[in-house]
Every structure is written in structure tokens, then in C-alpha cells.
Amino acid sequence: MNQCANNWKDYEVLDTGNKEKLERWNSIILRRPDPVCVWPIDQSNPDWKKADAIYHRSKSGGGHWQTVKPIKEFWTIGYKGLRFKISPTGFKHTGLFPEQAANWDFMMDNIQKNTLPEFRVLNLFAYTGGATMACAKAGATEVVHVDASKGMVQWAKENMQLSHLENHKIRFIVDDVVKFVKREQRRGRTYHAIILDPPSYGRGPKQELWKLEDQIYELLLECQKLLDKDAQFLIINCYTTGFTISALHEILKRTIQNKNGGQIECGENLLPVSHNQGVLPCGIFGRWTSD
């Protein structure tokens, strides 16, 4: 089961090709690398000449932005009443993964339909908080936002203010995810939903090493212990090259479904491409639901 984030108004993939994507972020057009786009560029599409900024990779690693036209250091885009800060970073990212809107839709729908007196959400590797804000806006009574990067947590706090969610119970925590999950077990805490968006490789605030293929099975086993008896869903995203949908399904079956029953759905995250009505693959997702 694939899912396509096709409800955006402020964001659009204009075209793809030559391992690049051309995107509109509100009124700003960015041209960025994307190794999935191995097909050639359609040279007849005039949109490619409209980029306000172009990201160039460096052979020594990293890269830089070339501004064709003056752009602001940051600006905002909206999605269903939420607002997010967008800022081109030195690592080609902008502070948001738009394909995740399909997951936000699922989370918001599930939380809004729920009749539980409380709904606690744990967002791990939470980045700038797209899922955090979606769950808070939908009515979660508490969202715990955990990321190892102090800068990303600060960015998430700005998104909270932009979305006018200051009066919602959101706990922002800078910590190593694995250590935090085990501490929550000792505290006896449980959650009705858990969201994981792990990188392929990373380090915690004290240089704790994270490598997805070596640690994802164990982490999901530990997360299973934090699921409340009335837990509704667990969602995990994966952008690791070579990590397949079938492998993710098998891991969820052995760690979450084995103890909790319920259903598993896995598939690709997709974005619609305006030119030629194509699609852009954006990693994979796995979802456990209680029903």
C-alpha cells in the first residue's frame, strides 16, 4: 500500500530528473539533488529556468546554495491550519519533509475519531516537529517530542509558535532516543501512539552512535513495551537505501504485531509531480494499527 501526499497547496514538486528535483515552497522555487530521479530532465519544461536557488553538491562532501534571485533566510508554508518555518540549510534540507503529510493526515484522522479520555503521543527522531504539531492540533492530550539535535528542537518550538499551539501540552526533549525509551520504561510511562522517523546514520547528544540496520529491530522491541493497553498506532519511516518494504513489514510483525495483534501496512511515501503527472518516491513507511 503506497501513500501519496497530494493535499498540499503551499508546496509542489514541479519536475524531476538528472538526479534533481524542482520544488515550489510557497512562492520560492528550489532546485535540489535527489538520487532517486535517475531519468533525464525534460528540456522543454521552462520551469527549470525559474529556480530561485540551486543546491550544488561538493565532491568533498556537503555542498552550497547558489542564489539565482534574492531569497529570505527563512519563510513559512501552511498545511491544514499548521505553519512551518522553511530555511535552506547547508546540507540541502529545508526543515520539512513534505511527503510526511500523508502520515500527518492519518494521525490527525485517528486522533480526532478517538474516544479515549487521554491520548499520549511519543514522537522519536522528531526533527522539526511536523508530526508533533499535527498530533497536537488534532487533539492529543500530550505529545512528547524527542530529538538528539538541540537546533532541531529549537526549530520545532518555532513551528509550535507559528501554528499557535503554545497552549497544547508538548514536551520538547533533547536526548538519545534509545536511552530515553528505556528511561520511560523504568518510569512506567505508556503511549497511545508512537512515531519514529530515524535517520540511516546519526549520533546522539553525547556522540551515541545510531545505525538503522543494526538497531531498528531492538528499538522497536523496546518501543513495544511503551505501548498502552489502548494503543492505537505506531508509524515508522525509513529512508535507508536498500532497506525494503518487506523487511520493514517483517520487523513490525515480529516486534509489535507479535505482542499486540492488530494490522500492519507498509508501502512507499510518494509526492505527486506536476509535470507529466509523475510521482516522486520518498522512502518507505510501516504502520501498525490496533484494529
Residue 190 to residue 120: CA distance in whole angstroms:
8
**What is the structure's pLDDT at 59?**
79
**pTM of the predicted structure, to 2 decimals:** 0.94
Q: Which amino acid is at 52?
A: D
- Give the tens place of pLDDT for each residue, 110-133: 999 999 999 999 999 999 999 999
Residue with cell 543494526: 214
**What is the structure's pLDDT at 246?**
96
The arithmetic mean of pLDDT across residues 174-188, rounded, is 96
Residue 200 confidence (pLDDT) above 80: no
* Between 104 and 58, the higher pLDDT residue: 104
- H/E stretch holding 47 reads none
Q: Which amino acid is at 124?
A: L
pLDDT tier for residue 265 given thresholds of 50, 70 and 90: very high
Residue 273's CB is within 10 A of a number of other CB atoms, namely 20
**What is the structure's pLDDT at 178?**
92
- Give the tens place of pLDDT for each residue, 34-79: 999 999 999 999 999 999 999 998 877 788 999 999 999 999 999 9
Residue 13 to residue 274: CA distance in whole angstroms:
6
- Give the tens place of pLDDT for each residue, 212-230: 777 899 999 999 999 999 9
Question: Beta strand 263-273 with 20-25: parallel, antiparallel or unpaired?
Answer: unpaired
Identify whether the C-beta of residue 234 lies closer than 8 Å to the C-beta of residue 253: no
pLDDT tier for residue 28 given thresholds of 50, 70 and 90: very high
β-bridge mates for residue 83, sequence order: 78
Residue 68 to residue 75: CA distance in whole angstroms:
17
Residue 202 confidence (pLDDT) above 90: no
**What is the structure's pLDDT at 203?**
73
On the CB side of 10, how many CA atoms lie within 13 Å of its CA?
16
β-bridge mates for residue 75, sequence order: 86
| For the chain, counts of helices (H) and of strands (E) | 7, 17
How far is Cα of residue 238 from the mean position of the Cα atoms in its chain?
9
Identify whether the C-beta of residue 167 lies closer than 8 Å to the C-beta of residue 204: no
Residue 105 confidence (pLDDT) above 80: yes
Angstrom CA distances, 210 to 80, 121, 176, 177, 203, stand at 33, 23, 9, 9, 6
Residue 204 confidence (pLDDT) above 90: no
**What is the structure's pLDDT at 20?**
97
Mean pLDDT, the chain, rounded, equals 94
Lowest-pLDDT range of 61-70, 254-263, 278-287: 61-70
Residue 199 confidence (pLDDT) above 90: no
Cβ-based burial of 188 (10 A; exposed 0-12, middle 13-18, buried ≥19): exposed
Beta-carbon contacts of 26 under 8 Å, excluding residues fewer than 6 positions away, are 10, 11, 75, 76, 77, 86
The arithmetic mean of pLDDT across residues 10-32, rounded, is 97
Q: What is the dihedral of CA 257, 258, 260, 265, to 10 degrees?
A: 10
| All cell numbers assigned to 225 | 513495551
Identify whether the C-beta of residue 258 lies closer than 8 Å to the C-beta of residue 284: no
**What is the structure's pLDDT at 210?**
64
Residue 92's CB is within 10 A of a number of other CB atoms, namely 17
